[in-house]
Amino acid sequence: MINNIDNNLLDKIVSLAKRRGFVYQGSEIYGGLAGTWDYGPLGVALKNNIKHSWWNKFVDSREDMYGLDSAILMNQRVWETSGHVGGFNDPLVEDLKTNKRYRADHLLEDGGVDVTNMSAEDMDAHIKEKKVLSPDGNPLGDVKQFNMMLKTEMGAVQDSASISYLRPETAQGIFVNFKNIVDSFHPKLPFGIAQIGKAFRNEITPRDFIFRVREFEQMEIEYFVRESDWEKHFEYFKDEMLEWMDEIGLDMNKVHDVEIGDGDRAHYSKRTVDFEFEYPFGQKELYGLAYRTNYDLTKHDEATGAKLGYLDQETNERFIPHVIEPSLGVDRTVLALLLSAYTEDEMGGETRVFLKFKPSIAPYKVAVFPLLKNKPELIEKAREVYGKIKAEIPQTLWDDNGNIGKRYRRQDEIGTPLCVTVDFDSLEDDTVTLRDRDTGKQERIALDTITDHIKKIVSGS
């Protein structure tokens, strides 16, 4: 069995994703728009399963977590206070001939230079000293700091007050609602606020499919703790994140946690661990876990006078809580899951491709088909079976296109764990064939127990 040892793996994934309706290029019929991708029916289902699984583990099954859905557009002062207007920059360098722009750190890394702890000035000096050229072989200009926030304007009057930004992280929406949550729910420390939503970054060079895009989705928690407890909670969330990654079926042999050194952390962080994944284009960030201290709440408190402290009822002490932040990208999860699940093997003397998704994550849990599509009595029976299963398992698919072999291949390629076929015997004895994606094995199951049988397999019990 071949699994992930293929140099063209990313190309295969991109083409499967398009062919089967997971991910399409954004604005494709207009020639595309760099750094944007559209999720088709299967991609949406996969993303929803990922988000539900995360929300279920980190919010619904706990008592100390509060959900939030804050606005993408925020008062521009939020981003001044948080340091994003001044400091959310990437080093940009331009090819002097073609005017193509590159991320200076990526360009140097691709050329084998270790950019750890290098500032933009260091990169500039290195490029000049070593006469580093662009990928097209041309000289490069000065390294400049490029702000990654996407700016927009609101309202009919065009002045500096109308500026807003598409949020580059969901976190700030949480910080500015801290007081609202405290006032409405009076939570006791430690507690967290969780949010899933879109974030936007004007990446200089979006690349590697849905890995680095300009519009993406984040799942973030700000977990508020006493300063003295931060290390304990940091370790706790590190374990919880690893547990969740395993739960959704990421290839854990490809996940590595990496301690981020002093010079490479974001301006607000005192400790950061990145969870990196071995993508076909290298080992790169999947998620981040940061100790943001009480930086953000303190800054917002100072800027607004909104009194963002927490009053400890027992000690009567007032202080600004510290924060542990697990930050996860939905799109990178989709990519890492596709890469983890992609498998090729031999079945019936042919090479087949299948996505070995865990049933909980698979876009469809089961597909139902009639053996032949031109026999009304078979269709009628199969429709009845389909309706019965779908009533209890909504992610059930009807498929009567092509012959049965083609349908199995198609379901394998989209990672459907089970297929149910209604044949002539079904009309006589009320049994159906249940076929397992991974082994190809088939068994006869009585119709009155089929839904429970599928439910058991899908829930892993």
Where does this chain bind ligand ATP (CB under 6 A)? Answer: 201, 203, 212-213, 216, 218, 285, 287-288, 327-329, 331-332
Long-range contacts of 234-242 (CB under 8 A, 24+ apart): 234/271, 234/273, 234/289, 234/291, 234/324, 237/289, 237/324, 237/326, 238/273, 238/289, 240/57, 240/58, 240/326, 241/275, 241/287, 241/289, 241/326, 241/328, 242/275
Nearest to 364 by CA among 297, 328, 414, 406: 414
Nearest-approach distance from CB 165 to ligand ATP, in angstroms: 15
Nearest-approach distance from CB 295 to ligand ATP, in angstroms: 15
Q: Considering beta carbons, is residue 146 or 369 the nearer one to ligand ATP?
A: 146
Taking the C-alpha atoms of residue 449 and residue 246, their distance in angstroms, rounded to an integer, is 31
H-assigned helices in 111-229: 120-129, 171-176, 178-185
Q: Considering beta carbons, is residue 335 or 367 the nearer one to ligand ATP?
A: 335
Nearest-approach distance from CB 320 to ligand ATP, in angstroms: 22
Q: Considering beta carbons, is residue 165 or 354 the nearer one to ligand ATP?
A: 165
Nearest-approach distance from CB 55 to ligand ATP, in angstroms: 17
Nearest-approach distance from CB 133 to ligand ATP, in angstroms: 24
Q: Considering beta carbons, is residue 278 or 344 the nearer one to ligand ATP?
A: 278
Buried b or exposed e, range 224-236, using 16+ CB within 10 angstroms: bbbeeebeebbee
Tell me whether residue 189 is exposed, middle or buried, using C-beta atoms within 10 angstroms of its C-beta: 0 to 12, 13 to 18, 19 or more. middle
Q: How many CA atoms lie within 13 A of 248 on its CB side?
A: 29
Neighbours of 438 (CB within 10 A): 11
Nearest-approach distance from CB 362 to ligand ATP, in angstroms: 22
Q: Considering beta carbons, is residue 115 or 133 the nearer one to ligand ATP?
A: 115
Q: Which residue has the closest beta carbon to ligand ATP?
A: 329
Output the CA torsion 73→76→81→86 (10° steps). Answer: 110
Output the six-digit token pair for 180.
């609202």
Nearest-approach distance from CB 425 to ligand ATP, in angstroms: 49
Q: Considering beta carbons, is residue 66 or 287 the nearer one to ligand ATP?
A: 287
Q: Considering beta carbons, is residue 213 or 339 the nearer one to ligand ATP?
A: 213
